[in-house]
Copies of this chain bind each other. A is one copy, B any other.
């Protein structure tokens, strides 16, 4: 298995200044695996849904090269449901409802033929469950990336820190980096968090781009493409993570230079996701569109600067 993805597969109901949706398919692992599937086809998905989850959506994931034998279906229960409303700035949101449902007693089981993936992406999930997945690995993956959120820093910081010590790349946003480290400066926050074990830290700054730090004080910055319209930011961070890990899994190169490329690919995938509600846009990207967007990234930062003296 090239890439194993663990996280939520769920329903979302989203309201933005541009409109609102009924229940649509969402969840961290959905966005991650779809974004990754653009780059690599040998993907395993470990998650749980209820009997209400549309079978045709599962078939669609399969058609994208995503093996769902690790997607537990609890026919008599309901899928995880989240509902939120974005403010006018699209950067802040209110959670209107969180129904854990099948997540309440979720016990992730990695299928026997998926316990030795080359790459592992732990999407945002209860740190205890992320640890259970790590424990089931029969071979250390080439690279383990993990996402989390402020909620788990409040609720399960000890377990979260234990996980951080076992992984290679942590992806969090700027606010979370500040909360986790107690440092306002992102440079200082990165130094502290990297001292806990991981080789790399990615700080996602939404419309302000993303920073990649390593232990040798190297920093790489990927801007977000300036977009005319951000329609629905839901899943942007997960699409970023999926593009990032999917590109690494496809190229099997975990040098810093290739991680930089993966960050740009991740940013490109996120820039598509925000253009429509839910996974709609992510499901219909053409290779030409990705190339156009990578070209736009190149143009955005390309400058020929000679040293002055």
Contacts and interface: CB of A to CB of B under 8 A. Distances in A.
B221 A188 contact: no
Given A257-B304, A261-B304, A303-B264, A226 B309 contact: no
A264 B234 CA distance: 33
A24 interface: no
Interface stretch (A77-85, A107-115, A289-297): A289-297
A221 B301 contact: yes
Number of copies: 2
A192 to B, nearest CB: 12
Contact of A230 (B88, B185, B205, B220): B185
* Chain A interface SS verdict (over half): mixed
A300 B297 CA distance: 14
Given A226-B219, A227-B185, A300-B219, A291 B309 contact: yes
Contact of A307 (B90, B185, B211, B294): B294
A184 B228 contact: no
A89 interface: yes
Contacts of A257: 303-304
B264 A305 contact: yes
Interface in A255-309: 257, 260-261, 264-265, 287-288, 290-291, 294-295, 297-301, 303-305, 307-309
Residue from the set A221, A260, A298, A299 with the largest chain B CB neighbour count within 10 Å: A221
A59 interface: no
A65 interface: no
Nearest to A188: B228
A187 B308 contact: no
A44 interface: no
Nearest to A17: B184
Given A184-B89, A186-B226, A211-B226, A220 B287 contact: no
B290 A220 contact: no
A287 B257 CA distance: 29
A185 B229 CA distance: 6
A197 interface: no
A223 interface: yes
A227 B186 CA distance: 8
A204 to B, nearest CB: 13
A229 to B, nearest CB: 6
A209 interface: yes
B309 A288 contact: yes
Interface in A168-207: 184-188, 205
Interface of A: 39, 88-90, 184-188, 205, 208-209, 211, 218-223, 226-230, 257, 260-261, 264-265, 287-288, 290-291, 294-295, 297-301, 303-305, 307-309
